[in-house]
Structures are given as structure tokens and as C-alpha cells.
Amino acid sequence: MVNPGGPIKTPPSRPLPPRTRNGDDAGGGTRDALPGVTVPPRVSRRSSIPAFEVMRITDEIARRRAGGHDVVSLCAGEPSARAVPGTLQPAGYTGPLGTAPLREAVAGHYRQWYGVEVDPATVAITTGSSGAFQLAFLAAFDPGDRVALASPGYPAYRNILTALGVHVIEIQTGPDTRYQPTPELLDAAVGEHGDLAGLVLASPANPTGTMLDRAALAALVAWCSLRGVRLVSDEIYHGITFGDDGQDRRGVTARELDREAIVINSFSKYWGMTGWRLGWALLPDSLVAPFEALASNFALSPPAPAQELALTAFTDESYAERDAIVAGFARARKLILDAEPSLGWGVAAPSDGAFYYYSELGPQLERFADSVEYARRLLAEADVAVVPGVDFDPVAGSRAVRLSYAAGESAVAEALDRIVRFQNDG
């Protein structure tokens, strides 16, 4: 749950000050020049990025619930939370890359799930995968570098890279490539924009849930290796998969195929520990020292109590418990797939994994201007929260919505009923 105590309004951000005549930003310097006149300190230009739409809607949900509305939320990708310890105890910093036992346990997880040997010294524990992305992008890319990513895709990649002065090259994907980049699409992007420094992949992806199989991932790895392009592989939804792909059923880790790849993962999704803010990165040898230098300055250390709890994540009991939760996601997913004819929407992405269903609204767009209006009215008139695709895909997202079925079977069943009634009554 985000902000369980109720919504807190974010103050409007300060406008950027006007530039002075010689083109420099007006800032601290003008304070001395005009005694008695205060000049607000300026906001950095690099922080001028969009807020995350999912979190904005989450705030709106809290507001409506506080107003007595029974809102069914298919909004945030948030599985059921884990138990909270009862007592508050002081906890000290840990090493900047995390505790040794947890780094070893993460390495053990790769042995168990993928049969891959990982040196614990190359494991960095971070504040969620979000913390890993910030540090990885800082360690691997310089301002002005070009980094490609798939659209639709998780918006924070684009926004963090932009805030860091990195040029984002959006690879527009669709049903023909299962919403994932291909070597051909990357060749075309290089032809149009120039050489790339990096490529960010996600499998299963958010918002589509689509996955890269071993051959597709290997082709992208080979493309990157030939060109010195740093691959960043977001594997945060590994384990939440619905196919029966033998040894690859948890997902294929890029670590197995490319020692230069940065692999990022988290305790947030498979283990349902979103609020504990714990994730990790597997680093190539050359990035361990830079990553550690950055981590020790930016975050000092990952949260100590969360690291202790996370040690229990890699037991047989824990895997069994989480696999049972994934089986529940599978049932919720099936409810949506079975309801496709009555929803009457357009093309949907193959939902191989994660807990997302991403679909074009198709015929619904004859009645609603776009997915933003559809989602706004669905919440206002039927108390069902879904996310319009615009945040994930600035080009075609105005035609699509994302449903998170992390909320479980009964919430999904209720939401589907309400959606069908909303569409039929409207």
C-alpha cells in the first residue's frame, strides 16, 4: 500500500527562473545584486521529468477510498505484502554493496534457479531495483550517450536516463515482434540516431508481460557484444511466468549469456516485498568498483533490517509459498483472458509473465477519445482503476490500457464485471 495514512498533496513544482540577458541561469548570483529582493533557488533542469502515472493514480485511489468509495484497483504492480516484524530495533549501516550473507544467498539463488555460478563479490544489494538502475546507469553511461529501450516500456528507465543527461532512443515495438526489440529494430535505430552505448531489456516486461526466449535474448546479446553496447537486463519479474518452458521456465538470465551485461532484479515482485526496498545487481567485473564508489556516496548502504529478512527468501519453504502466489496470479490472468470476448477490446500483448495485461482498447475508442479518458471515466463512474498506456508508450499508448492482476482473483473478477457493465451502460 502506498501512503496508507491518506493522501498528501505534492506541492506544485517551482517554475524555472528566467534566464539572464547573457544566457546564464538566474540563480544565487542575483541575490547579492538586488538587496531586499529574494530570488528563489532554482530547480535543476535535469529533474524536469514526468511523475510516474501509476503512483499518481494510487494517490487518487487513496483519496477516493478516504471518501468512502469501494475502489477495485488493478493499478499498481503490487503483490500481497509480507508480514511486518513487531518491534522497532536500531540497525546500523551495512557495507555499501550489502551484507556478505545476503550477497552469497543471491549467488546461491542463481545456482538454484539457473545453474549459473555467480561470484558474490559481483553482487550488489540495492534499495529496490530502482536503486540499482540509478547506480547502474551512472556507472555505465555518460551524459550525451545514447541508450535504447523498448516502447511500450517501464517509464522509469526513460525518466531516470533523461534525468542523468542520457539520450533515450525509444524502439517502437508491437505485436509483430511480441513487443520486444530485435536486432533488426536496433540496426534501424542506429541508422537513424547513431551508435548506442546501451540497451535496456525487460523480460517479462512491464506493461506488456511479454518475454524473450533464449534464442531471442541470445540474438540481442550477440548484437550488443559485437558493438560494445552495454546490456542492462531487468529480470525483476523472473519467477512470475506462466509458460512451461522447461529449464527456462523462470526466465532466461542474461548473466548466463553475457558476462558484460548488468543484470538487475528485486525482492519486490516474486517475493512481494515492495515496501522493503530491496533489490540487487549482478555486475561485470569492470563495474564493481565504480558501482561501489557510487553506492557508498549515494545511498551509504542498503537497508539493514530488510537485508536480514531477505535471507529467508531463498529457502525451499519461501519458494513454495511464492510459487503458490504465482499460481493465484495465473488464475487471475485466466479470468482476464477468458473475458476477452466480453471486454470487446483490440489487440493484446502476449501476457507471458509478470502480472500485467496490456491491450489496445480497439472499438472502445469509438466512444472514448483515448485511453486517458477511458481510464478516468472508469475510475470516476465504476470505481475501477486501470492505467492508460501513455506513460509506457508516448506514441501509441493513448490507445491502450494496462491491467495489473496482482490484486488477485476476486478483485479481478469484480473489476471485470464492473468494466463490462460500464461499457454496456455508457
Ligand X SMILES: Cc1ncc(COP(=O)(O)O)c(C=O)c1O
List residues near ligand X by CB under 6 A: 77, 128-130, 154, 202, 206, 234, 236, 266, 268, 274, 279
What separation in angstroms does the CA of 51 have from each of 54, 56, 156? 9, 8, 9
Q: CB-wise, 94 or 266, nearer to ligand X?
A: 266
Residue with cell 555505465: 140
CB atoms within 10 A of CB 285: 11
For the bound state, the minimum distance from the C-beta of residue 52 to ligand X, rounded and expressed in Å, comes to 9
Best CA proximity match to 352, nearest among 250, 229, 276, 253: 250
For the bound state, the minimum distance from the C-beta of residue 19 to ligand X, rounded and expressed in Å, comes to 36
What does the block give as the cell for 108? 546461491
Phi, psi torsion values for 283, nearest 5 degrees: -110, 145
Q: CB-wise, 123 or 365, nearer to ligand X?
A: 123
For the bound state, the minimum distance from the C-beta of residue 279 to ligand X, rounded and expressed in Å, comes to 4
For the bound state, the minimum distance from the C-beta of residue 268 to ligand X, rounded and expressed in Å, comes to 3
Please give the Cα distance from 209 to 336 (Å, whole number): 14
Q: CB-wise, 77 or 181, nearer to ligand X?
A: 77
Q: CB-wise, 62 or 339, nearer to ligand X?
A: 62
The angle at the Cα of 208, spanning 206 to 211, to the nearest 5 degrees, equals 85
For the bound state, the minimum distance from the C-beta of residue 266 to ligand X, rounded and expressed in Å, comes to 3
Residue nearest to ligand X (CB): 128
What is the three-state SS of 343-396? HCCCCECCCCECCEEEEECHHHHHCCCCHHHHHHHHHHHHCEECEEHHHCCCCC
Q: CB-wise, 266 or 398, nearer to ligand X?
A: 266
Where would I find the beta strands (DSSP E) of 224-334?
230-234, 262-266, 279-282
Is residue 52 within a helix (H) or strand (E), and if so which, with residue range? none
Cβ distance 108 to 314 under 8 Å?
Answer: yes
Q: CB-wise, 210 or 266, nearer to ligand X?
A: 266
Q: CB-wise, 283 or 365, nearer to ligand X?
A: 283
For the bound state, the minimum distance from the C-beta of residue 385 to ligand X, rounded and expressed in Å, comes to 15
What separation in angstroms does the CA of 161 have from each of 106, 233, 234? 27, 15, 15
For the bound state, the minimum distance from the C-beta of residue 89 to ligand X, rounded and expressed in Å, comes to 24
Q: CB-wise, 208 or 359, nearer to ligand X?
A: 208
The string of DSSP letters for 294-321 reads HHHHHTSS--HHHHHHHGGGGSHHHHHH
Please give the Cα distance from 151 to 330 (Å, whole number): 25
For the bound state, the minimum distance from the C-beta of residue 367 to ligand X, rounded and expressed in Å, comes to 30
